[in-house]
């Protein structure tokens, strides 16, 4: 394997790395991501200001003794370490103060005993458009079904990435590449994606390319959620989910989410939303704690 670089990314303990891996593992995109019991790896495609791009791979493991993530990247990315690290910090929620979150979420245990586990992190994302498309594809279908649709898009319309790692072969198409398709509805329709979702993906691509929508962590989350809700096919669940995962918004809540409903049985969506008011400004973490409680 070609030369590579490893950097350490410190975090505040406790840190539930295993739960992040489990989340990413269930959603690992074939050809783009690899997740095992110890690490997360993926292809990388970075756009440069001059219009060029850099491709490579990155792998993340945990070193709990050192209270740090170990981030290894291909030699092609060494000069772009800051850009890669910024994305990993968002994806693995490195900057959170778990004690501050736990102080607010303690009351969650009164509703779901044992759910408020200190050190819970919100799973972010490395590629915002990829994650947005996955969210749209996952509407009203299982996580596995959404993964199959996304894998077909990658295989048919993604870009090859030479990594030297078996299983890491492609990058998800960019917004510009989706818009360059002659007919998005037909192109995705042949892969099994229904027209309404294809149209939503195409509109997200258009808005991002036009600069009318930003799914970057420095963007104003509330404003971008309003922009998302104006897109046909994006409802409150999708807007909150994308705010949580792409914008790093700590206070999103999905009262209609199936997992949240299972963790809070017997309550109507409006009652779940009212209950969640006590967990501001960390409702995104409450979401994840509720999801994790179903596994724990």
Q: Which residues are catalytic?
A: 257
Q: How far apart are CA 225 and CA 254, in angstroms?
A: 13
CA–CA dist 165, 158 (Å, integer): 17
User: CA 61, CA 134: separation in Å to the nearest integer?
Assistant: 24
Q: What angle do CA 158, 198, 254 make, to 5 degrees?
A: 100
CA 180 to chain centre: 25
Nearest CA to 143 out of 53, 47, 257, 265 is that of 257
Q: State the Rg of the chain over Cα.
A: 19
- Sheet containing 53-63: order of strands: 4-10, 68-74, 53-63, 39-47, 33-35
DSSP of 143-184? HHHHHHHHHHHHHHH-EE---SSTTB-EEPPPHHHHHTSS-H
**For the chain, how long is the longest CA-to-CA vector?**
55
CA distances (Å), 36 to each of 15, 41, 193, 258, in order? 18, 9, 28, 26
Q: Which two tokens stand for residue 205?
A: 């691509």
- Whole-number Å distance between alpha carbons of 288 and 260: 9
- 267: alpha, beta or left? (left if phi > 0; alpha if psi -120 to 50): beta
């Amino acid at each position: 394997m070609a030369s590579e670089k490893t950097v350490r990314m410190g975090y505040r303990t406790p840190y539930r790395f295993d739960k992040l891996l489990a989340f990413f593992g269930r959603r690992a995109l074939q050809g783009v991501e690899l997740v095992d019991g110890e690490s997360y790896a993926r292809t990388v495609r970075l756009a440069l200001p001059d219009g060029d791009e850099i491709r490579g791979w990155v792998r993340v493991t945990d070193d709990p003794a050192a209270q740090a993530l170990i981030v290894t990247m291909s030699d092609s990315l060494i000069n772009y370490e800051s850009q890669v690290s910024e994305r990993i910090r968002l994806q693995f929620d490195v900057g959170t103060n778990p004690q501050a979150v736990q102080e607010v979420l303690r009351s969650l245990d009164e509703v779901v005993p044992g759910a408020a586990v200190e050190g819970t992190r919100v799973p972010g994302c490395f590629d915002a458009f990829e994650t947005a498309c996955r969210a749209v594809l996952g509407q009203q279908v299982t996580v596995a079904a959404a993964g199959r649709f996304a894998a077909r898009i990658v295989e048919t319309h993604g870009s090859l990435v030479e990594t030297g790692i078996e299983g890491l072969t492609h990058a998800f198409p960019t917004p510009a590449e989706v818009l360059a398709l002659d007919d998005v509805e037909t192109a995705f329709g042949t892969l099994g994606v229904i027209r309404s979702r294809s149209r939503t993906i195409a509109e997200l691509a258009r808005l991002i390319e036009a600069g009318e929508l930003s799914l970057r962590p420095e963007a104003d989350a509330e404003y971008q959620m309003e922009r998302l809700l104006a897109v046909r096919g994006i409802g409150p669940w999708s807007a909150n989910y994308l705010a949580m995962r792409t914008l790093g918004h700590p206070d999103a809540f999905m009262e209609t989410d199936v997992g949240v409903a299972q963790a809070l049985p017997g309550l109507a969506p409006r009652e779940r939303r009212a209950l969640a008011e006590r967990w501001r400004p960390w409702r995104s973490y409450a979401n994840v704690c509720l999801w994790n409680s179903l596994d724990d």
